Amino acid sequence: MGDIYDNVIELARRRGFVWPSSECYGAVAGFIDYGPLGAMLKRKIENLWRGFYIIREGYYEIEAPTVGVESIYIASGHVKGFADKMCQCPVCKEYHRADHIADEHGTAHADSLSTEELAGIINGLPCPSCGEPLENADVFYFNLMFQTTIGPGSQRTGYLRPETAQGIFIDFNRLSRFYREKLPFGAVQIGKSYRNEISPRQGMIRLREFTQAEAEIFIHPDHKDHPEFSRYADYSVSLWGQTHQMQDIEPVTPTMREAVDSGLVANEYVAYYISLTHEFLTQVGINPKKLRFRQHLPTECAHYALDCWDAEIFSERFGWVEAVGIADRTDYDLKAHAKESGDKFSVFVPYDEVRYEQRRTIVPDMGALGPHYRGKAKAVADALIESEPGPDGATITLDGESLFIPADLYQIREETIEVRGEEVIPHVVEPSYGIDRILYCTLEHAYEEEDVEGEIRKVLHLNPAIAPVQAAVFPLMNKDGLDTIARNLALELQKTGILAQYDDNGAIGRRYRRQDEIGTPYTITIDYDTLKDHTVTLRERDSMQQVRLLASTVPETLSRLIQGTLPFAEAGRKI
């Protein structure tokens, strides 16, 4: 059959799924165009994702700009630390990811090594572009964000967003009010993100412009038991934990209840979204035998993350491909934006019962502070209120300097106050999906070549729910009114929301092959028997079996077949 990647990409280009962007100008690595069928397939995958996160989970969708002001990415850490380790070939002058070169030559977890360690490994190895050995090649950091300016005269620095998540984080306060300030709540976003990859050489797997589908779920830091965990408590998933990886042990397949109770997965929220992701990916069409969840090792896990797992899909060309990341990010993001913006990123959580607490309040004597500190008296008073005074006075920090405020310049009052709740900075659980990678892996897992009566049949076994064209209608002959009946039936299917394609070009067998190749799950043929008894032939793509049924029942029958509520064997009379 040859290399499956080459076969899939050849089909994708020829049949209108995906092709290189700006091809007439030589194309640029890391950018792709989705053709008519690819764009439809992509939208259907996104809408299936919405079905999980919006319809079922109840998280509303927002849409934020793809360009953000610099302050957003200073707070998130992207300006300072969103960089890859790069090297330049001294011969051909091409730039490459140093850790990728090391990884391709057997260095495990090369992305966790320092620039000095990587330089020691890659020097002497062949350049991926020209094949000449790398000699005296330095390894240095390269920030992956696309920088731009906002407004004329370069007044403000902006960046194309490297992820969609930050748009949700900076909208936190408005989202909190939308959800009536009641935890847990979440928001989702599907949209373009941008990363100026150093040397993208993996087709759809590594792009400079790509689509993410992300959910940010805000939860109480002390309440990480998911209210609907019973839905997935007995759900089993292939998990490759830190210990398994470090001891070279195969993944295990516990239930989610067992995974949480044993400590393999940090909490019910992370386990819940691991299971939901597994269910979503298998519904898209990913082979469950080629799907696993790998826990981040201590060397690659972000310092603020409590737990992080990647859904990895096996590709014949690329090996295990990270397609989804699921992380408990704690309160890192909200605290970072609170510090940078000066806004409050918290939720008031009421107690079940009112509490009474003894509190000590510091009351500055402004009449005494004024003569001592003049213009700084207000700032001194504000700092004093937040201080912890000793018996003789309090030490505060003002403009970077320590000041001692004598006890006779303020009073301390003890009082009993009523406390109805507390301000809480939520933790964030984030499932983040790479739609382009999922789409490619779906095509690869769906692709098959088989010998049918001496001819090679190429077929995409796409889930009917996401197939770009869900049904094709053929007149056996383009005459005697068969074409009119076929066109009218195609229109009736379209009215019910089924994307149906009318096709009268060529022999019927050739038409079947064309539809099999683009993944159309069902085809309907109008023949001369239709004129007699008003029945049509319905063919299933995967089994190539055919049944006969009344033309008037086709729309309802196809709807049930696509939804998975009707077995094909029960769709009509076998022929």
**H or E element in which residue 409 lies:** none
Q: Is the pLDDT of residue 289 over 70?
A: yes
Stretch 190-216: mean pLDDT: 94
Stretch 497-517: mean pLDDT: 96
Q: Is the pLDDT of residue 56 over 60?
A: yes
Q: What are phi and psi for residue 148, nearest 5 degrees?
A: -145, 180
What is the C-alpha to C-alpha distance for residues 217 and 427, in angstroms, rounded to an integer?
8
Q: What residue segments make up the domains of the chain, in order of their start?
A: 4-82+144-332+429-435, 83-143, 355-419, 469-574
HEC-encoded secondary structure of 214-250: EEEEEECCCCCCCCCHHHCCCCECCEECHHHHHCCCC
Q: What are phi and psi for residue 286, nearest 5 degrees?
A: -75, 135
Residue 300, Cβ neighbours under 10 Å: how many?
13
% of the chain residues with pLDDT over 90: 88
Give the pLDDT of residue 1.
Answer: 44
Collect all residues with Cβ–Cβ distance below 8 Å to 481 and sequence separation of at least 6.
Answer: 531
What is the C-alpha to C-alpha distance for residues 289 and 350, in angstroms, rounded to an integer?
46
User: Residue 111: which pLDDT band, with cuts at 50, 70 and 90?
Assistant: confident
Stretch 492-516: mean pLDDT: 96
What is the C-alpha to C-alpha distance for residues 538 and 547, in angstroms, rounded to an integer?
5
If one looks up domain 355-419 in CATH, what number appears? Answer: 3.30.720
User: Residue 57: which pLDDT band, with cuts at 50, 70 and 90?
Assistant: very high
Q: What is the pTM of this model?
A: 0.88
Say if residues 437 and 207 touch (Cβ distance below 8 Å).
no
Tally of CA atoms within 13 A in the half-sphere of 574 that contains its CB: 7
- Distance set, CA 261 to CA 227, 231, 274, 368 (Å): 16, 16, 15, 60
| Phi-psi map region of 16: left, alpha, beta (phi>0 left; psi -120 to 50 alpha) | left
Tell me the three state secondary structure of residue 50. Answer: helix
What is the C-alpha to C-alpha distance for residues 495 and 489, in angstroms, rounded to an integer?
10
- At 421-452, the pLDDT tens digits run 999 999 999 999 999 999 999 999 999 999 88
What is the C-alpha to C-alpha distance for residues 439 and 84, in angstroms, rounded to an integer?
25
What is the C-alpha to C-alpha distance for residues 568 and 565, in angstroms, rounded to an integer?
10
**H or E element in which residue 56 lies:** none
Residue 505, Cβ neighbours under 10 Å: how many?
10
User: Residue 201: which pLDDT band, with cuts at 50, 70 and 90?
Assistant: confident
Give the pLDDT of residue 3.
Answer: 86
| Type of residue at 567 | P
Give the pLDDT of residue 454.
Answer: 84
What is the C-alpha to C-alpha distance for residues 358 and 418, in angstroms, rounded to an integer?
9
The strands making up 95-97's β-sheet, listed across from edge to edge, are 95-97, 83-88, 140-143
Q: Is the pLDDT of residue 268 over 50?
A: yes
Closest CA to 327 of 282, 278, 277, 273: 273
Q: Could you tell me the sign of the dihedral formed by the alpha carbons of 402, 366, 373, 379, in that order?
A: positive
Would you call 506 exposed, middle or buried from its count of C-beta atoms within 10 A (0-12, 13-18, 19+)?
exposed
Give the pLDDT of residue 236.
Answer: 98
User: Residue 154: which pLDDT band, with cuts at 50, 70 and 90?
Assistant: low
Stretch 68-82: mean pLDDT: 94
Say if residues 460 and 446 touch (Cβ distance below 8 Å).
yes
Six-digit token pair at 133? 């050995």
User: Residue 2: which pLDDT band, with cuts at 50, 70 and 90?
Assistant: low
User: Residue 396: which pLDDT band, with cuts at 50, 70 and 90?
Assistant: very high
Q: Is the pLDDT of residue 475 over 60?
A: yes
| Type of residue at 263 | G
What is the C-alpha to C-alpha distance for residues 486 and 528, in angstroms, rounded to an integer?
12
Stretch 249-272: mean pLDDT: 98
What is the C-alpha to C-alpha distance for residues 528 and 543, in angstroms, rounded to an integer?
24
Stretch 398-412: mean pLDDT: 91
CATH class as words, domain 469-574: alpha beta
Stretch 350-374: mean pLDDT: 89
What is the C-alpha to C-alpha distance for residues 119 and 136, in angstroms, rounded to an integer?
8
Tell me the three state secondary structure of residue 304. Answer: coil
What is the C-alpha to C-alpha distance for residues 486 and 504, in angstroms, rounded to an integer?
9
Angle between helices 36-50 and 435-446 (to 10 degrees): 110
Q: Is the pLDDT of residue 125 over 50?
A: yes
Q: Is the pLDDT of residue 153 over 80?
A: no
- At 311-359, the pLDDT tens digits run 999 999 999 999 999 999 999 999 999 999 999 999 999 998 888 888 8
Q: What fold does the segment set 83-143 form as a domain?
A: Herpes Virus-1 (3.30.40)
Task: Pinpoint the alpha helices (H) of 186-322.
Answer: 242-246, 256-261, 268-284
Collect all residues with Cβ–Cβ distance below 8 Å to 176 and sequence separation of at least 6.
Answer: 185, 218, 347
Residue that has been written with the tokens 């989610």 in this structure: 256
Considering the four listed CATH numbers 3.40.50.300, 2.40.50.100, 3.30.930.10, 3.30.70.890, the one that applies to the domain covering 4-82+144-332+429-435 is 3.30.930.10
Say if residues 208 and 192 touch (Cβ distance below 8 Å).
no
Residue that has been written with the tokens 């060309």 in this structure: 317
Secondary structure of the chain: what % helix, strand, coil (to 5)?
A: 35, 30, 35
What is the C-alpha to C-alpha distance for residues 379 and 183, in angstroms, rounded to an integer?
35
Q: What are phi and psi for residue 87, nearest 5 degrees?
A: -140, 165
Give the pLDDT of residue 174.
Answer: 98
User: What separation, in Å, do the N-terminal and C-terminal C-alpha atoms of the chain show?
Assistant: 32
Say if residues 541 and 558 touch (Cβ distance below 8 Å).
no
Would you call 22 exposed, middle or buried from its count of C-beta atoms within 10 A (0-12, 13-18, 19+)?
exposed
Residue 27, Cβ neighbours under 10 Å: how many?
14
